[in-house]
C-alpha cells in the first residue's frame, strides 16, 4: 500500500498516478500512526479520486517525534570514511561493530516540494546523503530483533543533509558543535514522497538506491549492502530510547557523498534520491 500525506488529507495510490483521498479524521500519516495505525488506511472510504499532480505532496510524517540517523551503515561508505579518518591521522580505525547513531530534530523534515536551504551560519560545506528511511508504526522499547518487524509501518526516502564544517568541528572536540546539530538545520531532512507499507517488502529487503546531483550519478548501491539490517537497527535503537509511532530511522547512505570529493551543494543545485519500489525525492537548493 502506497500512502501520501497531501494538502487535501491522507491519500492512497490505488492506481499508478491516481490518488484516492481517504475519509480519515487525520491530516497526515504521522497523526494516523499515532492513532489507529496504518491499517486504518487500507479499509478507509474513498472521498474522491484525483491525479497525483493535482495535490501538493507533503512529507509522509510532517513532524516526527525524533529522527535517528545511522552512520557508516553501508560497507562502501564506511570504507571511504575510514580511509579519510586514517589520512587525517585519526587512527587506528576499523569497521563499526555496533550501529553508530545520532538523534536529530524532527523540525528538520520538509516536504518533497520544499527546497534545501543553505544556512547562513554554515553554508559552505552542505552535503547530501541519499537513504532509505524506516517509519515506526507502533511503540518499541527494548524490542527483540525477531519482533522488530512488527514495529515498522513502512519505508520512504530521505536525504540526510549535513553541514560538514559543523560535523568536523564536533569530531574535533569543539564543545559548542555536535553531529546532531550539523544534521538538524531547518530543511535538512527532505522526506517522501510516499510511505510504502512494510508488507510490500520481504526482509532482508534488497532495493537499489541512487543519488544524482544536477543529473550526475553520485551514489549507487543496494540495501543488501547494509552492515546492520533494519530489524537489528530497530532492536538496537529501542534499547536506548522508546521508538514511537511516526519516528523516522535513516538507515545509512552508500559511498559517494560530496565530502569525499569536495563537492558541496550550491544554490541552484537539484538533488534526486531514488529508491527502487518507493519513488524519487527531488529537492532544489537555495541560499538562506
Instruction: Tell me how far CA of residue 77 lies from CA of 63, 107, 150, 270, in angstroms.
Output: 28, 26, 29, 22
Contact 30, 59 (CB under 8 A): no
Read off the pLDDT band of 262 (50, 70, 90): very high
Confidence at residue 175, expressed as pLDDT on a 0 to 100 scale: 75
- Does the pLDDT at position 87 exceed 80? no
Confidence at residue 177, expressed as pLDDT on a 0 to 100 scale: 78
Q: What is the pLDDT of residues 10-22, one digit of tens each?
A: 999 999 999 999 9
**C-alpha cell of residue 162:** 549535513
Contact 19, 8 (CB under 8 A): no
| Comparison of pLDDT for 276 and 84, the residue scoring more | 276
Q: What is the pLDDT of residues 230-239, one digit of tens each?
A: 999 999 999 9
Edge-first strand order for the sheet with 116-118 is: 116-118, 279-287, 270-275, 208-213, 216-222
Confidence at residue 90, expressed as pLDDT on a 0 to 100 scale: 60
The mean predicted confidence, pLDDT, of the chain is 94
| Comparison of pLDDT for 90 and 259, the residue scoring more | 259
Confidence at residue 81, expressed as pLDDT on a 0 to 100 scale: 78
Q: Which of 176, 171, 260 is nearest to 218 (CA)?
A: 260
Lowest mean per-residue pLDDT among 30-44, 80-94, 158-172: 80-94
Q: What angle do CA 5, 20, 134 make, to 5 degrees?
A: 40
**C-alpha cell of residue 104:** 536529530
Contacts of 220 (CB under 8 A, 6+ apart): 208, 209, 210, 211, 254, 256
Q: What is the pLDDT of residues 179-231, one digit of tens each?
A: 899 999 999 999 999 999 999 998 899 999 999 999 999 999 999 999 999 99
**C-alpha cell of residue 19:** 490518488
- Does the pLDDT at position 93 exceed 70? no
Give percent of the chain with pLDDT exceeding 70: 96
- Does the pLDDT at position 150 exceed 60? yes
* Strand ranges in 72-178 using DSSP code E only, listed in sequence order: 100-104, 109-110, 116-118, 126-127, 130-136, 152-159, 162-163
- Strands 109-110, 189-197: parallel, antiparallel or unpaired by DSSP? parallel
**CA-derived radius of gyration, the chain:** 18
Distance separating alpha carbons of residues 118 and 63, to the nearest angstrom: 20
Distance separating alpha carbons of residues 153 and 134, to the nearest angstrom: 8
Confidence at residue 215, expressed as pLDDT on a 0 to 100 scale: 98
Confidence at residue 278, expressed as pLDDT on a 0 to 100 scale: 98
Amino acid at each position: 500500500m502506497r500512502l501520501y500525506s497531501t494538502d487535501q488529507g491522507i491519500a492512497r495510490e490505488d492506481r499508478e498516478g491516481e490518488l484516492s483521498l481517504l475519509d480519515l479524521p487525520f491530516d497526515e500519516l504521522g497523526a494516523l500512526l499515532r492513532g489507529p495505525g496504518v491499517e486504518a488506511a487500507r479499509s478507509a472510504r474513498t472521498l474522491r479520486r484525483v491525479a497525483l499532480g493535482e495535490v501538493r505532496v507533503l512529507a509522509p510524517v510532517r513532524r516526527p517525534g525524533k529522527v535517528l540517523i545511522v552512520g557508516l551503515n553501508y560497507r562502501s561508505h564506511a570504507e571511504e570514511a575510514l580511509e579519510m579518518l586514517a589520512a587525517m591521522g585519526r587512527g587506528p580505525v576499523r569497521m563499526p561493530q555496533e550501529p553508530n547513531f545520532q538523534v536529530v530534530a524532527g523540525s528538520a523534515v520538509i516536504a518533497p516540494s520544499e527546497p534545501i536551504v543553505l544556512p547562513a551560519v554554515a553554508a559552505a560545506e552542505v552535503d547530501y546523503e541519499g537513504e532509505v528511511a524506516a517509519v515506526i508504526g507502533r511503540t518499541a522499547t527494548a524490542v527483540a530483533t525477531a519482533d522488530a518487524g512488527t514495529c515498522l509501518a513502512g519505508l520512504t526516502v530521505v536525504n540526510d543533509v549535513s553541514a560538514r564544517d559543523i560535523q568536523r568541528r564536533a569530531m574535533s572536540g569543539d564543545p559548542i558543535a555536535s553531529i546532531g546539530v550539523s544534521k538538524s538545520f531547518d530543511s535538512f531532512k527532505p522526506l517522501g514522497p510516499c510511505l510504502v507499507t512494510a508488507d510490500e517488502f520481504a526482509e532482508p529487503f534488497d532495493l537499489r538506491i541512487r543519488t544524482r546531483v544536477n543529473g550526475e550519478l553520485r551514489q549507487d548501491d543496494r540495501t543488501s549492502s547494509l552492515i546492520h539490517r533494519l530489524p537489528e537497527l530497530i532492536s538496537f535503537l529501542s534499547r536506548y530510547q522508546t521508538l514511537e509511532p511516526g519516528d523516522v530511522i535513516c538507515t545509512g547512505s552508500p559511498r559517494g557523498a560530496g565530502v569525499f570529493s569536495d563537492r558541496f551543494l550550491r544554490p541552484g543545485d537539484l538533488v534526486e534520491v531514488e529508491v527502487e519500489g518507493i519513488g524519487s525525492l527531488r529537492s532544489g537548493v537555495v541560499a538562506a
